[in-house]
A and B are shown apart, each in its own frame.
Chain A
Amino acid sequence: MNPPDALPLERDVATLIVNTLRLKIDPAVIDPEQPLFREGLGLDSIDALELSLAISQTYGYELRSNDPDIKTIFASLRDLCGAIDKNRTK
């Protein structure tokens, strides 16, 4: 189950990640603070690209590699949701 402090946006984005990447897991098992890439979910740059497409379509937020915060944006579900919340246009 989700830890009690999972926010609504985090639940939505967890579902978006699972559906986009066809992870075949329950979105609720994604710990908002565990790493998304390499360790934790073990995602890679192919996932980053697929995810960026889903994020831009759902939230109108375009990711860029030369964003100085790109490493922290993808650090965890919570960090990603923070960035989406700040930059979303829909």
Chain B
Amino acid sequence: MNTAPLIALYQPDDILAWEGASPIIARQFLSDVLECADRLPTATAVLNMAQDRYRFLIGLAAAILRRQVTLLPQSTAAKTLADIAARWPDCYCLTDGLDTPVRLPVFHFARGSASVASRFMIPAIPLDQPVVVAFTSGTTGAPSANTKTWKALVNVAHDTGACLGLGGANRPSIIATVPQQHMFGLEASIMLALQHGCAVYTGRPLFPADVGTALEQVPAPRILVTTPLHIKALVAHSAALPSIDRILSATAPLPKELACEAERAFQTQVHEIYGFAEAGSVAARRTTQEDVWRPLDGISMAQEGENWVVRAAYLPKPVPVPDHISVHSDHTFALHGRRTDQVNIAGHRASLIQLSQRLMEIAGVEDGVFFIPDEGGEAMTTRLIAFAVAPGKRIEDIRTALRSLIDPVFLPRPVFLVERLPRNATGKLTREALVKLADECRRNGHRGL
């Protein structure tokens, strides 16, 4: 049976994680994993909602040993979690907090103090074992499940590591501002670290001052796994920061100018990853030096009809690319924006059709639609607008209902209540008509919150 180790390139006393400025060695990690695996309930699937990266990691590794698949919901909206729970009836929720937004059996995981075993044996994991399920918004409204085998996760970690020059003696500390439940966060913080003998920072810094503290708490060399928005905030931050050897950015296109500023300000190299939950990380580029994307090793882009798909030995079937791309003869490709129905906010993708369907599911909403307004060039984060025809309902009722139905990043701002939608003779809503309607609503002083 083909296997790959749970963790690679660690000696027993090598540092595997930094909890603030306190090191956790590989031997301790394995003891914690074994202890947790012993205590996990019997089930086929676990919803791992641990906020602390180390606790998440212990839960993930323990679940792998118990052959339980870890579910990674794209959203923590109650409706999404309930849909998922309905599909894995024996699933339980692993959490390190107090509130669980879904009615599932709960496994509270406050890290115990597993006594450190003297034996150091790294478990071998079958490559074809399903390890995680990442959810994406399906076109029908129900989230679609994308199962990742251990092979898929390990391959992406190796390819990303190669692109950053990891391996051998280069074993940096990895700090991530992105959540571990997000596919990029899982691949670029946890999997990247564990397959290259790196030490992962267990916190998740948000503000530039937090990132500064995190960088001070771990030794150089350091890799920062982050997003364009965090990079923008860091570049504007006035205080000096400890050295950052590499910045790895994903979730949204990074403007070249910002990448140049970051390379200058931090004397670093900025690498960007392109990917999406269905396929994982797909391609990379050094943003300051190239406009095109280089597919990671083992990935190829192929044309099927009018659409492009991603192929890889570890993907069970070709995965459609959610953006418009053009592929060059040297296999690199250029991105030309998302397909019209798709929206990507902070790395969360959804279809506008699906969001509109959810809006229309709300009792009292007779008609409704989401759309993406035109933003000025400098906007880093797109936000959506929604129109609803809902006589007798208040805007606040609709916002409250939406909060339990969709991921918070897609909550519309504003929601406009209108008498009717400008549907044309065939019942379609054109973009022009919606832009015009939004202008009218604003001019008429709709409160819109």
Which A residues have a C-beta under 8 Å from some C-beta of B?
21-26, 29, 38, 41-42, 44-46, 48-50, 52-53, 56-57, 62-66
Interface residue? B163 (CB, 8 A): no
Instruction: List residues of chain B with CB within 8 A of the CB of A62.
Output: 207-209, 237, 239
A50:B381 contact, CB within 8 angstroms: yes
What 1/0 flags go to B375-386 for Cβ under 8 Å of A? Answer: 100011101000
217-233 of chain B: CB within 8 A of chain A? 229-230, 232-233
A46-B210 contact, Cβ under 8 Å, with A56-B237, A65-B205: no
Number of B interface residues, CB 8 Å?
34
Classify the interface of chain A: helix, strand, loop or mixed: loop
Nearest Cβ distance between residue A82 and chain B, in whole angstroms?
18
A45:B449 contact, CB within 8 angstroms: no
Instruction: List residues of chain A with CB within 8 A of the CB of B379.
Output: 22
Contact sample, A vs B, 14 pairs, CB 8 Å cutoff? A21-B383, A22-B379, A24-B413, A38-B403, A42-B399, A42-B408, A42-B411, A45-B206, A46-B345, A46-B346, A49-B206, A52-B207, A62-B207, A64-B207
B413:A53 contact, CB within 8 angstroms: no
371-407 of chain B: CB within 8 A of chain A? 375, 379-381, 383, 399, 403
B233:A49 contact, CB within 8 angstroms: yes
How far apart sit A63 and B346, CA to CA, in the bound complex (Å)? 21
Interface residue? B213 (CB, 8 A): yes
Interface residue? B162 (CB, 8 A): no
Which residue of chain A lies nearest to B442 when distances are taken between CB atoms in the complex?
A24
B447:A29 contact, CB within 8 angstroms: yes
How far apart sit A57 and B383, CA to CA, in the bound complex (Å)? 23
How far apart sit A66 and B379, CA to CA, in the bound complex (Å)? 28
Instruction: List residues of chain A with CB within 8 A of the CB of B236.
Output: 53, 56-57
A48:B381 contact, CB within 8 angstroms: no
Please list the 4 inter-chain residue pairs (A to B) with the smallest Cβ-Cβ separation, ordered nearest first.
A64-B209, A53-B233, A62-B209, A65-B210
Instruction: List residues of chain A with CB within 8 A of the CB of B232.
Output: 53
Which residue of chain B lies nearest to A37 when distances are taken between CB atoms in the complex?
B408
Contact partner of A64 (CB less than 8 A), chosen from B210, B375, B399, is B210
Instruction: List residues of chain B with CB within 8 A of the CB of A56.
Output: 208, 236-238
A25:B409 contact, CB within 8 angstroms: no
B207:A63 contact, CB within 8 angstroms: yes
How far apart sit A24 and B449, CA to CA, in the bound complex (Å)? 9
317-376 of chain B: CB within 8 A of chain A? 345-346, 375
Nearest Cβ distance between residue A66 and chain B, in whole angstroms?
7
Nearest Cβ distance between residue B273 and chain A, in whole angstroms?
19
Interface residue? B167 (CB, 8 A): no
B413:A49 contact, CB within 8 angstroms: no
Instruction: List residues of chain B with CB within 8 A of the CB of A23.
Output: 413-414
B375:A22 contact, CB within 8 angstroms: yes
A44-B409 contact, Cβ under 8 Å, with A25-B449, A56-B237: yes
How far apart sit A50 and B230, CA to CA, in the bound complex (Å)? 9
B346:A52 contact, CB within 8 angstroms: no
B448:A49 contact, CB within 8 angstroms: no
How far apart sit A49 and B178, CA to CA, in the bound complex (Å)? 13
Instruction: List residues of chain A with CB within 8 A of the CB of B413.
Output: 23-24, 42
Which residue of chain B lies nearest to A29 when distances are taken between CB atoms in the complex?
B447
Contact partner of A46 (CB less than 8 A), chosen from B205, B381, B399, B445, is B381
A22:B383 contact, CB within 8 angstroms: yes
Which residue of chain B lies nearest to A34 when distances are taken between CB atoms in the complex?
B449
Nearest Cβ distance between residue B21 and chain A, in whole angstroms?
13
B447:A46 contact, CB within 8 angstroms: no
B209:A49 contact, CB within 8 angstroms: no
How far apart sit A64 and B203, CA to CA, in the bound complex (Å)? 13
Among A29, A45, A48, the one with the most B-chain Cβ atoms within 10 Å of its Cβ is: A45
Instruction: List residues of chain B with CB within 8 A of the CB of A22.
Output: 375, 379, 383
B447:A25 contact, CB within 8 angstroms: yes
Nearest Cβ distance between residue A55 and chain B, in whole angstroms?
10
Instruction: List residues of chain B with CB within 8 A of the CB of A49.
Output: 206-207, 229-230, 233
Which residue of chain B lies nearest to A26 when distances are taken between CB atoms in the complex?
B445
Among B232, B346, B408, B414, the one with the most A-chain Cβ atoms within 10 Å of its Cβ is: B408
How far apart sit A63 and B411, CA to CA, in the bound complex (Å)? 25
A50-B448 contact, Cβ under 8 Å, with A56-B238, A62-B207: no
B409:A48 contact, CB within 8 angstroms: no
How far apart sit A64 and B209, CA to CA, in the bound complex (Å)? 6
Instruction: List residues of chain B with CB within 8 A of the CB of A21.
Output: 383
B375:A46 contact, CB within 8 angstroms: no
Sample of 10 more A-B contacts, CB < 8 Å, known A41-B449, A42-B449, A44-B411: A24-B413, A24-B448, A25-B448, A29-B449, A38-B403, A44-B409, A46-B229, A46-B409, A48-B206, A63-B207
How far apart sit A53 and B213, CA to CA, in the bound complex (Å)? 17
A66-B399 contact, Cβ under 8 Å, with A22-B375, A25-B447: no
